[in-house]
């Protein structure tokens, strides 16, 4: 329980800092939008590039863990996407809701938590979860959102428009460049490495401050979380790890690897869906409430999962 609390507290502290700045008008009325633009165009692309350019692909070949974690993440994402579309929501909004229910905070909470619980030697598995979440799942959601934004009936025209939008999107360009550089085996020049690391380090705190600023706005301050936010929180903290555990049993993973997959799947919702909701000018209240609810409830749920795993 103490481990979970100590891991989650800094996230709340940064969100509260952003909320306080918003309530006292310290950063201006458009700070949330502009700070989120900084994250989307500079900080997050740098983080994605850094993750992929530093990935050791030989140690990351863990097919059992990869499949088990992917089943949980993409299973919940796909289920939420299908249900929201069936209930009349647009494809773009449904994709963001899919991320609300399936996008784990694998980097900021997952890596330090798993290092504490399992030890440093199992961190390559945490890196796999980060890659699957912030690169693969994120990219799939981007593609679905772009498809939903186009008003083109002919498939080949639709494909061209979506491809053009994605080719200009920094959140897809950066990981592709990172993977390409990593494939060469060449080290980054020190100046470029420092530049990328400085920008990457600002992605999470800036996204959390932007979230706090958004929550402090009059349109959301004091508002109650919707029923959907509670459903997404339940799917994230209970549904995804349960589905991952079932996949781990099916593929007969070793107890340590299975426990790692389940714990990474049980993490609260990260800031990725909020950044996309703001970037594409979609409804962000449900997303922000889901992040807050899942982060707060994860103090108890993570402790319970850790006890079960142990």
Task: Count structural domains, the chain.
Answer: 1
Cβ atoms of residues 18 and 34 within 8 Å? no
Report d(CA 201, CA 184) in Å as an integer.
25
Pinpoint the alpha helices (H) of the chain: 2-23, 31-38, 44-53, 63-86, 91-102, 111-118, 123-131, 138-149, 155-167, 170-184, 190-201, 203-216, 227-234, 240-250, 255-265, 272-279, 285-309
Specify the residue for token string 């993409």: 74
Q: What is the CATH number of the domain that holds 157?
A: 1.20.1530.20
Walking along the chain (310 residues) 10 residues at a time, the average pLDDT comes out as: 71 86 86 84 85 76 92 96 93 94 84 75 80 86 85 60 68 83 88 93 84 72 77 96 96 91 92 84 86 87 84
Cβ atoms of residues 166 and 143 within 8 Å? yes
Q: What pLDDT shows up at residue 120?
A: 67
Q: What pLDDT shows up at residue 206?
A: 87
Report d(CA 304, CA 307) in Å as an integer.
5
Domain limits for position 277: 2-309
| Inter-CA distances, 265 with 8, 10, 35, 234, 270, Å | 16, 20, 28, 12, 12
Cβ atoms of residues 68 and 261 within 8 Å? yes
């Amino acid at each position: 329980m103490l481990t979970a609390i100590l891991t989650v507290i800094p996230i709340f502290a940064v969100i509260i800092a952003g909320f306080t700045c918003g309530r006292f008008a310290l950063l201006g009325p458009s700070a949330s939008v502009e700070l989120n633009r900084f994250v989307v165009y500079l900080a997050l692309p740098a983080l994605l590039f850094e993750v992929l350019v530093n990935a050791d692909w030989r140690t990351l070949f863990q097919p059992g863990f990869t499949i088990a974690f992917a089943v949980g993440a993409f299973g919940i994402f796909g289920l939420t996407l299908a249900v929201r579309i069936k209930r009349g929501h647009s494809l773009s909004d449904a994709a963001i809701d899919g991320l609300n229910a399936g996008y784990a905070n694998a980097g900021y909470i997952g890596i330090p938590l798993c290092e504490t619980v399992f030890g440093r030697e199992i961190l390559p598995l945490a890196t796999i979860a980060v890659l699957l979440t912030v690169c693969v799942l994120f990219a799939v959601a981007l593609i679905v959102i772009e498809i939903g934004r186009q008003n083109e009936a002919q498939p080949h025209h639709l494909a061209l428009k979506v491809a053009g939008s994605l080719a200009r999107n920094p959140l897809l360009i950066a990981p592709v460049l990172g993977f390409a550089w990593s494939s060469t085996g060449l080290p980054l020049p020190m100046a470029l490495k420092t530049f990328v690391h400085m920008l990457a380090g600002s992605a999470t705190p800036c996204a959390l401050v932007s979230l706090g600023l958004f929550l402090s706005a009059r349109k959301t301050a004091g508002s109650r979380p919707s029923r959907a936010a509670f459903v997404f929180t339940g799917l994230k903290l209970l549904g995804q790890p349960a589905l991952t555990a079932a996949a781990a049993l099916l593929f007969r993973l070793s107890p340590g690897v299975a426990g790692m997959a389940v714990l990474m799947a049980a993490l609260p919702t990260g800031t990725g869906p909020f950044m996309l909701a703001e970037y594409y000018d979609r409804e962000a209240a449900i997303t922000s409430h889901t992040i807050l609810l899942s982060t707060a409830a994860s103090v108890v749920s993570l402790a319970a999962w850790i006890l079960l795993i142990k």
